[in-house]
Amino acid sequence: MSVPDATTSCAPVGVLVGPTASGKTALAVALARRLGDVEIVSMDSMVVYRGMDVGTATPTAAERAAVPHHLVDVVDPSEDHTVAAHQDLVAAALGDIAGRGRRALLVGGTGLYVRAVVDRLSIPARYPEVRAELEAEPDTVALHRRLTELDPTAASRMEPTNRRRVVRALEVTLGSGVPFSAHGPGLDHYPDLPWPIVGLDVPRDVLDARIAERYRRQLEGGFADEVRALAARPAGLSATARQALGYRELLAHVEEGEPLEDCVETAVRRTRRFARRQQRWFRRDPRITWVPAPDPDDPALLDNVRRALGW
């Protein structure tokens, strides 16, 4: 299949990555405002959804007014958003930015989206009927065991509880008849970079505290009401949107009557584990330049990131 080649963009491009709650959004906005000719392209699998703003820490209206943002609130939450679709959207956004003679900063924590764009990954076809059968199995670990039997290489590359990745690998393996790991050179291959990638290095204890504090602020900002509104939509929510951290847990409160305090505690715990998986994912990439970022208010941080990007 033809892979959208965002790397042919004539505009200078940089990439800023890091785990959730590492301060990427605020730092990217501050950098773009200082430089004056930078536009931000989201590389987050949930920020693309309309109406899922509070719980995804979507850039605020003020931030978007100050700096042009792309791929924010562009997909209805009833739809599944795919890696291939994101590749297409990023390629179009970079072409638009280049056409106006500006720079682009790709920002996000969805590691597979970043790799798909930067390394032009060829995304296997989708098999909806196979996927529907797999989604009917609630036990993700059982699905992972099945994947281990069919494609041990792919199974070894993912957490047994990472439902999205496990289901996708099984979908491709069963639908195509070819092991998922046989599609392309795999994520352990790191070709030369077309653009610099900078990662924010935040200590785990600091990240843990930020995650808990962010949930507190989000609840004060109407997160539960946002989830209620989404749950009441006639079109419903896609399986992808329902799995978003925080939303998945608060839906249990809204739809099943689970105590809100328990749901938030579960969300904090799961998000902390997710942040660790993000850190491990990005740490495997030897091409990333890491910038210490224990304090988001450190005045030196902005300049350190700018220099690491070569800007």
Structural domains counted in the chain: 2
Residue 1, domain member (yes or no)? no
| Same domain (yes/no): 20, 166 | no
The 3-state DSSP class for residue 16 equals strand
Using a 10 angstrom Cβ sphere, with 0-12 exposed, 13-18 middle and 19 or more buried, the burial of residue 255 is: exposed
Average pLDDT, the chain: 93
pLDDT at 167: 95
**What tokens does 128 get?**
């909806």
| Same domain (yes/no): 205, 272 | yes
Strand ranges of the sheet holding 38-42, from the earlier edge strand across to the other edge: 69-70, 38-42, 103-108, 13-17, 197-201, 289-292
Which of residues 159 and 269 earns the better pLDDT score? 269
Using a 10 angstrom Cβ sphere, with 0-12 exposed, 13-18 middle and 19 or more buried, the burial of residue 228 is: middle
60-110, pLDDT tens digit by residue? 999 999 999 999 999 999 999 999 999 999 999 999 999 999 999 999 999
Band (1; pLDDT cuts 50, 70, 90): very low
Residue 241 has pLDDT above 50, yes or no: yes
Which of residues 2 and 198 earns the better pLDDT score? 198
| Same domain (yes/no): 118, 132 | no
The C-alpha torsion from 210 through 216 and 219 to 221, rounded to 10°, is: -70
CATH of residue 156's domain is 1.10.20.140
Using a 10 angstrom Cβ sphere, with 0-12 exposed, 13-18 middle and 19 or more buried, the burial of residue 287 is: middle
Residue 114, domain member (yes or no)? yes
The CA-to-CA distance between both ends of the chain, in Å, stands at 35
Band (10; pLDDT cuts 50, 70, 90): low
Residue 17 has pLDDT above 90, yes or no: yes
| Same domain (yes/no): 30, 103 | yes
Dist CA 230 CA 291 (whole Å): 37
Q: What is the pTM of this model?
A: 0.85
| Same domain (yes/no): 53, 80 | yes
Residue 275, domain member (yes or no)? yes
pLDDT at 2: 47
Dist CA 115 CA 100 (whole Å): 25
Dist CA 262 CA 55 (whole Å): 17
Share of the chain above pLDDT 90, in %: 86
| Same domain (yes/no): 36, 76 | yes
Residue 224, domain member (yes or no)? yes
pLDDT at 33: 96
| Same domain (yes/no): 92, 114 | yes
Residue 228 has pLDDT above 90, yes or no: yes
| C-alpha to C-alpha distances, 189 to 82, 121, 184, nearest whole angstrom | 22, 11, 10
207-216, pLDDT tens digit by residue? 999 999 999 9
Dist CA 190 CA 283 (whole Å): 12
Band (187; pLDDT cuts 50, 70, 90): confident
Range of the domain at 165: 128-182
pLDDT at 31: 97
